[in-house]
Amino acid sequence: MGRSRRTLPEELLLLALDPATGTTAQPQSLDLGLAGAQLVELALAGRIAPDGDRIAVVVPRPTGDPTLDCALELLRRRGAPVRAVNWIGGPRLGLRQTYLSHLERCGMVHAVAGQMCGVLPTTRYQATDTAISREIRSRLDSAIRTGVPPDPRTAALAALAHAVGLGKHLYPGNEGRSSRSRLRDLIRHDPMGGLVAHAVMDVQNGVAAQPRRSPAPAGRPASAGVRSAPEPARGVPMQPRRGSMARAVVH
């Protein structure tokens, strides 16, 4: 995979980065979204494919992206297809910081050191090229405004943005309500993005232990519709407590 294209985890992180504060919106659910975005990116690269509610490795060849290839190798070692909800709900220590550091090395953000309560060291991140963030945002805005089915990458980005609760960050207030609703509806335009987004919401809702219900037999009612992510997303029950780091990072 060439590096001329930004990966989906990078785009999701840039969407979540608040230009005014240098912090990321919805930090706990964002960690889950980044793990899910890796799965979608690997699927777009032809390395994995959905198998029901599970993820199967179909081409184990590395992509050339170290972070994605680490995820691909972990999936390969599982041997059998793994449920998306179990994968996303697993430990993801440092994933957000890994991508922030990568964006800093690429020159897309720069770190600003500070202190919390005058004691704890913190690091905030400011975008260095706002045109990149505007381009990512404009793709979502266009899909919402025009109603034209977006490309799979944009559809998956919209699904993940909805799943992690970025709707109110991107389209705040009552005036943004219809845009948030259309953002949610874009989830149906990419099967892999939809699978991963629902898995992210399942983990947030604490239902990762239960397998997804199979379709109801004929003659019996089945639930319909698209589930909504909490607005704003609440804590993530299954996310492990993060260990201490040399310095506190954006949250």
Structure tokens at 175: 């005036």
Q: pLDDT tens digit string along 187-208?
A: 888 899 999 999 999 999 987 5
CA-to-CA separations, 211 to 54, 150, 202, in angstroms, rounded: 10, 30, 10
Which region, left, alpha or beta, applies to residue 121 given φ > 0 means left and ψ of -120 to 50 means alpha? beta
Instruction: Report which of 144, 170, 167 is spatially closest to residue 155, judged by C-alpha positions.
Output: 144
pLDDT given at position 26: 86
Structure tokens at 71: 């995820």
Partners of 55 in the β-ladder: 50, 82
pLDDT given at position 217: 46
Angle at alpha carbon of residue 17, lines to 40 and 104, rounded to 5°:
85
Angle at alpha carbon of residue 44, lines to 40 and 48, rounded to 5°:
70
Q: For residue 87, which phi and psi values (nearest 5 degrees)?
A: -65, -50
Instruction: Report which of 100, 129, 132 is spatially closest to residue 27, judged by C-alpha positions.
Output: 100
pLDDT given at position 208: 56
**Tokens 């780091």 sit on residue:** 245
Q: pLDDT tens digit string along 109-123?
A: 888 887 666 677 778
pLDDT given at position 14: 93
pLDDT given at position 210: 52
Q: What SS3 state is found at 178?
A: helix
pLDDT given at position 246: 35
What 8-state DSSP symbol labels residue 189?
A: G
Task: Characterize 107-129 residue by residue with b for buried, 16 or more Cβ atoms within 10 angstroms of its Cβ, and e for exposed.
Answer: ebbebeeeeeeeeeebbbbebee
Please state whether beta strands 82-83 and 54-57 pair in parallel, antiparallel, or not at all (unpaired).
antiparallel
Structure tokens at 16: 């979540």
Listed as ranges, residues in the chain with pLDDT below 50 are 1-4, 212-226, 228-251
Question: Taking the complete model, does pTM exceed 0.85, yes or no?
Answer: no
Query: Are residues 186 and 146 in contact, defined by beta-carbon separation less than 8 angstroms?
Result: no
